[in-house]
Structure 1
Amino acid sequence: MLLAAVSALEVTGIAHAGDVPGSTFDPSGFELRLGTFVHDSLSPERGSADINAEALMHLFRPAPSALSWLTPRWHVGTTINTAGKTSSLYTGLTWTFDLTPRLFAELSLGGAVHNGTIGRIPVAGHNAMGCRAAFRESLSLGYRFTQQFALMGTLEHMSNAGLCAQNRGLTNFGLRAAWTF
């Protein structure tokens, strides 16, 4: 009987994942993420760390929980290098895929602007990023400890996809904590 009632709420879009037995995540909330990344360990900029901050929210009502992965969340964030190398501001869309009630994977796609080296002449110790604007994508694997708190490993990449003369790109990886409100 309870299962039938929950199913009816999901079909009408009233229930969210946090209301379903066995699930711990409510995708309709505002989420704040903070973490630290290893800065592009295979590039001229290697050897430093980044601070990452990101906010996520829905721009429109999420799909029922069984289909919530179809509804992306809008994100806006920054990755700030602690050694004066390339930092960025970014925005885009994030899709969350529940693997179990607590384990999830994410894909983010969007754009970024950065303060790195542009133009044709490379600068020693810096990536030749080519142009100021770039595409940004990221992959995360995370674990929800509670409905409000999760940890995730993240890999982010930024490049201009060959649209400018130089395209060294930038790839960072690290850990982030997420709080849902």
Structure 2
Amino acid sequence: MYRTGLSLLAVFAMAGTAFADILDEARIGVMQHNVCVTDCNNADKEDGPNISAELVFSSPDFLSVVLAPRPYVMGSLNTSGNTSYGAAGLIWNFSLTERLSFEPGVGYALHDGALHSPFPQGDPQGDAFTSNHVLLGSKDLFRTSLALNYAISDRWGAQALYEHLSHGQILGNGRNQGLDNVGLRVTYALGN
């Protein structure tokens, strides 16, 4: 867990200095890890909230043909040593009012969680393992997200976020229990 956290911090530090001219926004918050949204059979298997941090970049010109999404890189560190992950992708922002906006996103994530049980089927240790771990089936996952943003001021904002991670039987096969996380983050617009 600590290696993953240090790696995520290093990525953010490098990205922040290398991309200072195109860096648009920074976000940090707390996510409730593995909650029940649609499939409650695997919810609450892993303990601890996740600390989520994200850097959002200005939309490059070539993405204007698909409604100008902004690229992002993010990391989510589980505070109890369970599944942590990093992701990169695209987010779109649609204004609803002067202060409120809706933000869907898609991305690609890598995680350090369990893929499958290390114990043979029927082994009591396997039952204990699967009752405490989400079995994700693939080291790489899709990350989809939906957020509601509220602008507190020109620079500061708040975000309510839902995210789902799963391989969708495309990036992997077999086990695909997936993760659903919900939480709140503080946003800071860097702007030039």
TM-score (norm 2): 0.72
Give the distance between the partners of 1:77 and 1:38, measured in 2 at CA. 16
Secondary structure class of the residue paired with 1:41: coil
Give the distance between the partners of 2:24 and 2:62, measured in 1 at CA. 12
Counterpart of 2:81 in structure 1 is 84
Counterpart of 2:174 in structure 1 is 165
More strand by share: 1
- Which of residues 26, 30, 36 in structure 2 aligns to 1:32? 26
Give the distance between the partners of 1:47 and 1:103, measured in 2 at CA. 32
Deviation at 1:119, TM superposition (A): 3.4
Deviation at 1:164, TM superposition (A): 1.7
More helix by share: 2
Deviation at 1:46, TM superposition (A): 4.2
- AA of the residue aligned to 2:188: W
Give the distance between the partners of 1:118 and 1:44, measured in 2 at CA. 17
Secondary structure class of the residue paired with 1:85: coil
Counterpart of 2:7 in structure 1 is none
Give the distance between the partners of 2:158 and 2:61, measured in 1 at CA. 25
Deviation at 1:62, TM superposition (A): 9.1
Structure 2: gaps of 5 or more residues: 1-21, 37-42, 119-125
Give the distance between the partners of 1:56 and 1:133, measured in 2 at CA. 21
Q: Is the 8 A contact 2:35 2:181 kept in 1?
A: yes
Q: How does 1:21-170 map to 2 (within 5 A)?
A: 30-42=24-36, 43-61=43-61, 70-119=67-116, 121=118, 123-124=129-130, 125-162=132-169, 163-170=172-179
Deviation at 1:165, TM superposition (A): 1.2
- The one-character-per-residue Cα deviations of 1:59-90 (angstroms, maximum 9, x if unpaired) are 41499xxx9x9210000001111011111000
- The one-character-per-residue Cα deviations of 1:81-117 (angstroms, maximum 9, x if unpaired) are 1011111000000000000111001011011000010
Deviation at 1:45, TM superposition (A): 2.6
User: What RMSD over aligned residues (CA atoms) do the two structures have, in Å?
Assistant: 2.3
